[in-house]
């Protein structure tokens, strides 16, 4: 599909071309006609002079050269000629003919005839010729001619200057098309920027700020943005409600089973089944969350602030376990992710590191090529390279010696994938345990499309 700009250029270019061609054609034929008329009038004028001169000098035609005084009649082959033929066929001619004769200059009708003619001596000329019958009854043929070379040169000049003028007009026309296109497309470009900006700020677009042709579109976009936001928040609320509705009864059931187990009844199978239910519940809820995130919830989050929040939480949790959390984070980092999603990622990674570390864990957040890099390291046992792919698979638990659903890394990985971000498990160079390295889409950098 052609862009609006392309459409404007093509239609503007075509209309400029057509109007230029028509303009040149009309103007050229008009000016050409005028030039030819002027030429013919001058030629007729000269013919009249020749006729007048003849009426004085019919007795002594040799005097004609004196009476028709024009330097160009004297200059050889100047392009301006006259030729008079006596009733007896004797020819008198201007000096410029140098004894040559005009093509068809001996025959003529009783009325004045103007026509183009040519011969090798004088090239192309326009001849005005007439048979004149004097008072004594003798019929003379009077012809004057003018070379067409000058007329042709003038026409060529005219064509060239017309072409130049219209080329200038065309350039101005195209420039104005560009300008108009820009002016028309500007509100649309602004709309696009505004949609991205206002979405982040949770604001609606104001239709009054746009031209009336675009305003209905703005209204539609508002409705869409609103609906999109509503869908995301509704499905999150549903997930939360579902979590609440299922987890409390599950807690009650677990507690009752524990009481029975304490009463020496074998509740092992029932408790195992409940563990499976809980794990499946946690997994499904995590999936539900991931399904409603990514591009659907395009938002920006102050990552530095989230890191501070988690520094407080995990600093406290680590301290209670006699462990140390060190945090290094550049200020003012913004990621193109929903706040809950990035915090879910951070929480799961830190929780995992805290669970497995011996004494120290660290969180480092910094600007890097292609976004913002987050590295969580610990001094725990790490994960062998061969098992790393398995560790990020949903529900896989490599080691069941620590409590938990085994979903932490998998949830983080799923969430990151929804944003087109990746997660790499490595050996920690500083602490010796596991290092989880992720690169988040930062502000202004759009993540790849989902799916």
Partner 1 sequence: MRILLAEDELVLCDQIKKLLVAEGRIVDIANDGQEACFLGTTEPYDMIILDLGLPVRDGLSVLREWRSAGVATPVLILTARDGWSDRVDGLDAGADDYLTKPFHLPELAARVRATLRRSSGRSNPLFQLGGVAFDTRHGRATLDGVPVDLTSQEVAVLSYLIHNSGRLISRTELSEHIYEYDGDRDSNTIAVFINRLRKKLGPELIQTVRGRGYMIDAA
List residues near partner 1 by CB under 8 A.
Answer: 240, 243-244, 246-248, 250-256, 258-259, 274, 278, 282, 285, 309-310, 312-313, 316, 320, 339-340, 343-344, 346-348, 351
Taking the complex as a whole, the smallest distance from the CB of residue 262 to partner 1 amounts, in Å, to: 10
For partner 1, the closer of residues 89 and 263 by Cβ is 263
Taking the complex as a whole, the smallest distance from the CB of residue 312 to partner 1 amounts, in Å, to: 7
For partner 1, the closer of residues 55 and 394 by Cβ is 394
Taking the complex as a whole, the smallest distance from the CB of residue 252 to partner 1 amounts, in Å, to: 5
For partner 1, the closer of residues 278 and 302 by Cβ is 278
Give yes or no for a contact between 363 and 357, defined as CB atoms under 8 angstroms apart: no
For partner 1, the closer of residues 121 and 302 by Cβ is 302
For partner 1, the closer of residues 204 and 317 by Cβ is 317
> How many degrees, rounded to 5, is the angle at CA 232 between CA 231 and CA 234?
65
Taking the complex as a whole, the smallest distance from the CB of residue 232 to partner 1 amounts, in Å, to: 15
Taking the complex as a whole, the smallest distance from the CB of residue 384 to partner 1 amounts, in Å, to: 27
For partner 1, the closer of residues 310 and 356 by Cβ is 310
Taking the complex as a whole, the smallest distance from the CB of residue 436 to partner 1 amounts, in Å, to: 15
For partner 1, the closer of residues 351 and 377 by Cβ is 351
Give yes or no for a contact between 113 and 135, defined as CB atoms under 8 angstroms apart: no
For partner 1, the closer of residues 115 and 258 by Cβ is 258
- Nearest-angstrom CA–CA distance, 178 and 10: 11
> How many degrees, rounded to 5, is the angle at CA 112 between CA 106 and CA 118?
50
Q: Residue 440 to residues 15, 287, 450: CA-CA distances in angstroms?
A: 50, 20, 15
For partner 1, the closer of residues 54 and 357 by Cβ is 357
For partner 1, the closer of residues 65 and 288 by Cβ is 288
Phi, psi of 377 (to 5 degrees): -125, 155
Taking the complex as a whole, the smallest distance from the CB of residue 278 to partner 1 amounts, in Å, to: 6
Helix (H, G, I), strand (E, B) or coil at 130: strand
CA dihedral 106, 108, 110, 112 (to 10 degrees): -110
> Hunting for tokens 């990020």 — which residue is that?
392
Taking the complex as a whole, the smallest distance from the CB of residue 279 to partner 1 amounts, in Å, to: 11
Taking the complex as a whole, the smallest distance from the CB of residue 340 to partner 1 amounts, in Å, to: 5
How crowded is residue 440: how many other Cβ atoms within 10 Å of its Cβ? 26
- Nearest-angstrom CA–CA distance, 437 and 388: 13
What is the Cα gyration radius of the chain? 49
Taking the complex as a whole, the smallest distance from the CB of residue 223 to partner 1 amounts, in Å, to: 28
- Nearest-angstrom CA–CA distance, 451 and 249: 36
Give yes or no for a contact between 440 and 329, defined as CB atoms under 8 angstroms apart: no
For partner 1, the closer of residues 128 and 346 by Cβ is 346
Sheet with 123-133: list strands edge to edge.
91-93, 80-85, 139-147, 123-133, 113-119
Angle at which helix 4-57 crosses helix 149-201, to 10 degrees, equals 160
For partner 1, the closer of residues 49 and 324 by Cβ is 324
DSSP state of 295: G
Taking the complex as a whole, the smallest distance from the CB of residue 362 to partner 1 amounts, in Å, to: 18
Give yes or no for a contact between 307 and 365, defined as CB atoms under 8 angstroms apart: yes
DSSP state string for 356-425: H-SSEEEEEEEEETTEEEEEEEESS----GGGHHHHTSTT--S-TTS-S-S-HHHHHHHHHHHTT--EEE
User: Pick from 431, 209, 178: which is nearest to 323 by CA?
Assistant: 431
Taking the complex as a whole, the smallest distance from the CB of residue 356 to partner 1 amounts, in Å, to: 17
């Amino acid at each position: 599909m052609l862009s609006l700009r392309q459409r404007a250029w093509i239609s503007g270019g075509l209309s400029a071309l057509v109007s230029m061609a028509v303009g040149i054609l009309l103007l050229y034929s008009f000016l050409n006609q005028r030039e030819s008329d002027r030429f013919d009038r001058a030629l007729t004028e000269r013919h009249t002079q020749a006729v007048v001169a003849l009426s004085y000098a019919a007795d002594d035609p040799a005097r004609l050269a004196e009476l028709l005084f024009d330097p160009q009649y004297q200059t050889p082959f100047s392009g301006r000629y006259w030729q008079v033929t006596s009733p007896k066929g004797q020819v008198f001619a201007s000096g410029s003919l140098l004894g040559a004769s005009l093509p068809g200059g001996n025959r003529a009708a009783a009325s004045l005839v103007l026509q183009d003619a040519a011969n090798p001596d004088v090239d192309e000329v326009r001849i005005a010729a007439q048979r004149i019958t004097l008072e004594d009854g003798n019929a003379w043929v009077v012809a004057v001619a003018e070379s067409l070379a000058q007329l042709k040169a003038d026409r060529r000049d005219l064509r060239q200057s017309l072409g130049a003028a219209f080329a200038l007009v065309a350039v101005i026309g195209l420039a104005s098309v560009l300008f108009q296109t820009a002016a028309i497309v500007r509100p649309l470009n602004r709309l696009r920027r505004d949609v991205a900006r206002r979405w982040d700020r949770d604001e609606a677009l104001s239709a009054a700020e746009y031209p009336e042709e675009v305003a209905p579109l703005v209204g539609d976009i508002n409705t869409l943005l609103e609906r999109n936001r509503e869908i995301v928040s509704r499905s999150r609320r549903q997930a939360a409600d579902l979590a609440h509705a299922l987890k409390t009864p599950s807690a009650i059931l677990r507690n009752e089973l524990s009481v029975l187990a304490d009463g020496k009844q074998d509740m092992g199978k029932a408790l195992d089944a409940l563990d499976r239910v809980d794990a499946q519940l946690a997994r499904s809820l995590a999936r539900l969350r991931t399904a409603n995130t990514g591009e659907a919830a395009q938002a920006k989050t102050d990552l530095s602030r989230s890191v501070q929040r988690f520094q407080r939480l995990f600093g406290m949790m680590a301290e209670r376990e006699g462990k140390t959390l060190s945090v290094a984070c550049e200020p003012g980092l913004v990621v193109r992710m929903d706040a809950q999603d990035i915090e879910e990622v951070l929480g799961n990674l830190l929780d995992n590191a805290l669970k497995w570390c011996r004494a120290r864990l660290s969180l480092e957040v910094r600007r890097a090529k292609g976004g913002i890099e987050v590295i969580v390291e610990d001094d725990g046992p790490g994960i062998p390279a061969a098992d790393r792919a398995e560790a990020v698979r949903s529900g896989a638990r490599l080691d069941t010696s620590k409590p938990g659903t085994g979903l932490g890394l998998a949830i983080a990985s799923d969430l990151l994938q929804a944003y087109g971000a990746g997660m790499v498990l490595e050996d920690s160079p500083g602490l010796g345990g596991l290092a989880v390295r992720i690169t988040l889409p930062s502000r202004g950098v759009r993540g790849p499309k989902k799916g």
